[in-house]
Amino acid sequence: HSGFAQKTADIGIWGGTSNYFGDLHGNVPFQSFNANYGAYFRYNFNARIGLRTMFLTGSFAESGEIEGMPWTFEKNVQDLSLQIEVNYLKYILGEKKTPFSSYVIAGIGVAYFPYDMDPLVIAQFNANHNKGDKIISGSEIATTIPFGMGFKYTIGNRLGVGIEYQMRRIFNDRLDDLEDPLAFFDA
């Protein structure tokens, strides 16, 4: 009995929504959905393990409160990541014997987004803040850890569809334009 690993590659498009989980209070989870889209290239080492590079772009927006004060932000974010994808069942696109599988994903990436912080606004709820007195405006590049799960299904020899849920841990506190707004100078 002999066997071999079938190495293949896929390209695809991705469409979905984004939601924010962060420092704001009083916001209703999953209330604001923002359009996102992207593309990926996946190299399949075998029927169970693949490595994909994924680019996503779209908007993030949320309204809520910080220390009883209303806060709103909206911005476009770009994300580039490298993810390992592990199928629960054997899955080879176009194979009738392996037409579907659930999977998990995890990886590492970077996100790029604008950052605007006005210390006078922060002073409304933290008079002793350590943010200085000048408006800060610029761009941020932050490390991310994407992780999630999904389900994919073959609908033709070269075409498949899927549904996926991903989250990203962003190692930067500037997405909501707050960056630790309760930090203060020791007097």
Higher pLDDT among residues 2 and 128, named by residue: 128
* Cα separation, 34 vs 175, whole angstroms: 15
Cross-sheet strand order for the sheet of 136-154? 8-18, 34-44, 49-66, 69-87, 100-117, 136-154, 160-170
Binned at pLDDT 50, 70 and 90, residue 3 comes out as: very low
**pLDDT value, residue 168:** 94
Terminal CA-CA length for the chain: 76
Among 11, 97, 82, 13, smallest CA distance to 47 is for 97
Q: Does pLDDT of 169 surpass 60?
A: yes
If you average pLDDT over residues 135-158, what whole number do you get?
A: 94
Chain mean pLDDT for the chain:
87
* Cα separation, 7 vs 5, whole angstroms: 6
Residue type, 178: L
Residue type, 116: D
Distances (CA, A) of 128 to 68, 118, 124, 134: 17, 14, 10, 15
**pLDDT value, residue 122:** 78
Burial class (CB in 10 A: 0-12, 13-18, 19+), 12: middle
Sign for the pseudo-dihedral over CA of 31, 152, 9, 5: positive
Q: Label residue 174 left, alpha or beta by phi (over 0 means left) and psi (-120 to 50 means alpha).
A: alpha
84-137: pLDDT as tens digits? 999 999 998 888 888 999 999 999 999 999 998 887 877 777 777 777 788 888
* Cα separation, 185 vs 66, whole angstroms: 19
